[in-house]
Each structure stands twice: as structure tokens, then as C-alpha cells.
Amino acid sequence: MLIAAGCSSDSGSGDSGSGSGGDKAAGAGATVSASASAAPTVQAAAYKSLPESCGVLSSKTLKSLVPKASKSGKKGTSEAGTRGSCSWSSLDNNGVKGSQFRWLNVSLLRFESDSSRGTGEAQAQKYYEQQIQDAQSVAGAKNAKSQAVSGTGDAATLVRYDLKKKEGAFKQQTVVTRVENVVVTVDYNGAGLAGDKAPSSDTLAKLAERAAKETVTAVSAANGEGAASPAPSDSASGSKAPSKSAAPSKSATESASKSASPSKSAAKTS
């Protein structure tokens, strides 16, 4: 009787253990499933590509801003579909009467939506605000002014100031624009050298705004909106689905911020 009871007890214990293991496995599976379904999702970025940076402006616009510059421009830091920049330098030498110098730089940075960093638009807005702060905090800047620019992208700001250098007095104009998940920064400055008179800040500002608006149009066109772009797209991201690999990493974003920052690029011109 004691042996039978012992066997019965062992059998019951085995069944109970088996049941407990099954419950744990089922619970673990449910947890994984719940965790997967609860994973955060973000809205896909509106723009998936960028235009060729040195082709965003028409020949007519370049003629107005940098009349003596090569229309092809000088391509800067670039990564297909993510970032790009191009600059033009113009020197109109009038001999003993002096010279007129103009420098233009256009940079573009696109942000992809990411579950850890947020939507591409939110990231772009943050970078847009940082670019404005950089332009407003240039060392040695005088007579600094900032104003909103209407009719250009989703948000646009013009920062203008005077900067004294050994070559002469430079009139700097920086227009920072956000359109969807892309930030466009236009740096444009001019100076009268060797005794020539300084250019009008108002005239330079209007030209910089024109360049910004035209660049925004090119960005929209590269993503299937609006009029045709002045140049073919420089993006390799032709697929409709957003690519996680195309999203700027934290280090890439910081690098782009340094290279595209108006406070850094504009200060180097001469």
C-alpha cells in the first residue's frame, strides 16, 4: 500500500511538472508576441531622395548670384539620397577700381524616420533650428538680423550680418529652410575688395532667398512633386519603401552639421 501510494505520488508530481513547463513556454511566447506587437512605429518620411547638389540652381540664377563662377560648381560632402553640397566662387576684377567678390554654398540634408530618433520631419525640424542658431552665433558678426522667409518650404529663416576680414567687409546672408524631412541651407556673401564699394545687403538677401526657393523646388521635383528639376536626381534610393540604411546615423548627422553649418562654411570664405 505504501509503495502504490508512492508511485501514485511520483506520477502526479511528474504531470504537474510537465504542466508547469508548458505554462512557462506559453507565457514566454505570449510575452515575445506582445513585445513585438507593441514595438513603436513612426510615420514614414515624405521625401526619399535628393537632387544633384550642383544642379539645383538654373544658369540664370547662378549668373545673378555668382556671375564669374563656373556654372558646374565645386561639389562638397555628398552621400546619395542623404546629403549633398555645392559651392561657387566669383571674383569680378575691375583693376584699379577694385573687385567684387561673391561666394555661394548650397547644402542639403535628408532625414529618414527611425523608431529611436523619431520621424524624419521632427529630426529635420531640430536640425533646422540648430542651423539657425549656428548662423546667429558667428564670432565677430556685426549688425546681425533674423527674419522669417515666406513662400519657401515649410519653414524658412534668413540670418544676415556683416563680417570684417582682412580682405574686406563681407555681407553674409544665410537662408535655412525645411521642407518635409529635408533641410536646405544657402550661404551667400559678397564684398567689395581693393577699394570697391560693398554690395547691398538687401540685394544679396533677395538673391539668397531666390536660391533657397529654387533649391526647395528642386528637392520637391526630385521626389515627384512640382515642376521638373533643373538637374537629374543624385539619389540612389529609387524604391518607394524607406530605407533604414539611408537614415543618417548620429555620427553622420553630427558630421553633416559641422560641414553644412553656416557658421563654419561662411567664416572660411575670403
Please give the Cα distance from 107 to 86 (Å, whole number): 7
Helix axis angle, 250-260 to 120-136, nearest 10°: 30
Helix (H, G, I), strand (E, B) or coil at 23: helix
Q: How high is the pLDDT of residue 96?
A: 79
The C-alpha atoms of residue 236 and residue 246 are separated, in whole angstroms, by 10
CA distances (Å), origin 22, targets 14, 31, 116: 13, 14, 35
Go through the chain and tell me how many residues it has.
270
Interval 49-63 mean pLDDT: 98
Half-sphere CA count of 41, side-chain side, radius 13 A: 6
- What is the pTM (predicted TM-score) of this model? 0.72
* Closest among 65, 108, 109, 110 to 89, alpha carbons compared: 65
| The pLDDT value given to residue 38 | 55
Average pLDDT over residues 61-76: 97
Predicted local confidence at residue 39, as pLDDT: 57
Q: Which amino acid is at 5?
A: A
pLDDT in tens, 90-125: 999 988 788 999 999 999 999 999 999 999 999 999
Longest dimension (CA), the chain: 124
pLDDT tens-digit readout, 116-173: 999 999 999 999 999 999 999 999 999 999 999 999 999 999 999 999 988 889 999 9
State the Cα–Cα distance between residues 118 and 167, nearest whole angstrom.
Answer: 44
Tens-place pLDDT, residues 221-234 = 999 986 543 444 44
> If residue 27 lies in a helix (H) or strand (E), which one and from where to where?
helix 2-37
Cβ–Cβ < 8 Å for 130, 124: no
Angle at 201 between CA 144 and CA 167, to 5 degrees: 85
What is the share, in percent, of the chain residues with pLDDT greater than 70? 69
